[in-house]
């Protein structure tokens, strides 16, 4: 009996070692990006996609129903307020359209490449979020079938959400700006001082490489700099929460509260390439 148990345990150790080796090989970048492995992931994601949609819709339906019941009381007042806001925004849109046309004409006259982001916005719904605390990732219901490509920027009405990093046929994964591996070139909207914003999983974003001579104040708006091909210039990233400057440092540490409330987002826009 003892030998039987010991033999089984040894075979288990053997399989653990084999598994470790397989996982190491699978994570080698060239293997990870290889066609067969991407195909397996693509098939798995396509098969699971409708179920994600159903689960998400069921959750959304149940929570919005419950929320709606409790909010019914103030809905009349809110409705009137929203109608007034819509009128105001419609007027602004007319003005902006005119400005946009004028801008395009002038760019055309100067032979500039069109940077009109508005015409490239693709609405998308969030159908899943990373279950792991190590990654800040969401999944959206748009994929290569909708012309979504890797490194497309993702925004919502509040500001910058992240960028697409893994595209399947009908869905894509978006790396949020709050992920520690995310890096976005940003600038202070009031002083134009530049830095790199990266996430810290939970809590504020950290701005690195912000020069110690830069005058950054609490409450300053931080926007994308447009220095990369991924994020267009001027998208709201957040508001400065704290500034930590030491005399002997060449860079200052800046914490930024993200503009987007990531625990509540359900709809986003992909800026297609």
Q: Footprint of another protein on this chain (CB under 8 A)?
A: 8-9, 12, 15-16, 19-20, 23, 26-27, 32, 40-41, 44-45, 48, 51-52, 55-56, 59, 127-135, 137, 139, 165-166, 173, 180-181, 198-203, 263
Report the candidate in 135, 222, 143 with the shortest Cα–Cα distance to residue 180: 135
Q: Which long-range contacts (CB under 8 A, 24 or more apart) does 68-75 make?
A: none
Q: How far is the CB of 35 from another protein (least distance, A)?
A: 16
Number of neighbours of residue 254 by Cβ within 10 angstroms: 27
Q: Considering the complex, state which of residue 162 and residue 223 has its C-beta at the smaller distance from another protein.
A: 162
Minimum CB separation from another protein for residue 208, in Å? 11
| Nearer Cβ to another protein (159/199) | 199
Q: Nearest approach, Cβ of 107 to another protein (angstroms)?
A: 37
Of the pair 40, 118, the CB lying nearest another protein is at 40
Is 137:176 a contact under the CB 8 Å cutoff?
A: yes
**Gap between the Cα atoms of 159 and 224, Å rounded:** 10
* Residue pair 146/269 in contact by the 8 Å Cβ criterion: no
Q: Decide whether 56 or 224 has the Cβ nearer to another protein.
A: 56
What is the C-alpha to C-alpha distance for residues 189 and 240, in angstroms, rounded to an integer?
A: 11
- How far CA 163 is from CA of 131, 147, 176, in Å, comes to 18, 15, 7
Which regions of the chain does DSSP assign to beta strands (E)?
121-129, 137-140, 153-155, 160-167, 172-176, 184-188, 194-198, 205-211, 221-224, 236-244, 251-258, 267-271
Shortest Å distance, C-beta 147 to another protein: 19
Beta carbon nearer to another protein, 26 or 94: 26
Nearer to another protein, 135 or 251 (CB): 135
Closest approach of another protein to the CB of residue 239, in Å? 18
Smallest gap from Cβ 26 to another protein, in A, equals: 4
């Amino acid at each position: 009996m003892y030998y039987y148990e010991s033999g089984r345990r040894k075979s288990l150790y053997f399989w653990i070692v084999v598994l470790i080796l397989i996982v190491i090989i699978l994570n080698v970048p060239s293997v990870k990006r290889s066609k067969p492995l991407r195909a397996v992931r693509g098939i798995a994601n396509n098969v699971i996609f409708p179920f994600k949609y159903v689960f998400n819709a069921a959750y959304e339906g149940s929570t919005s129903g419950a929320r709606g019941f409790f909010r019914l009381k103030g809905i009349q007042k809110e409705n009137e307020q929203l109608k007034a806001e819509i009128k105001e925004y419609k007027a602004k849109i007319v003005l902006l359209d005119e400005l946009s046309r004028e801008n395009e004409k002038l760019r055309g006259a100067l032979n500039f490449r069109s940077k009109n982001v508005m015409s490239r916005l693709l609405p998308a719904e969030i159908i899943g979020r990373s279950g792991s605390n190590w990654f800040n990732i969401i999944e959206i219901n748009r994929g290569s079938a909708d012309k979504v490509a890797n490194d497309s920027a993702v925004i919502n009405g509040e500001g910058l959400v992240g960028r697409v990093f893994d595209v399947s046929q009908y869905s894509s994964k978006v790396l949020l700006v709050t992920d520690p591996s995310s890096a976005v070139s940003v600038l202070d909207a009031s002083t134009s001082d530049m830095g790199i914003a990266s996430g810290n999983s939970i809590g504020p974003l950290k701005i690195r490489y912000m020069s110690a001579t830069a005058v950054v104040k609490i409450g300053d708006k931080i926007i994308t700099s447009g220095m990369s091909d991924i994020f267009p210039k001027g998208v709201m990233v957040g508001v400065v929460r704290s500034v930590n400057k030491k005399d002997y440092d060449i860079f200052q540490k800046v914490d930024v509260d993200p503009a987007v409330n990531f625990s509540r987002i359900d709809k986003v826009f992909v800026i297609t390439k």
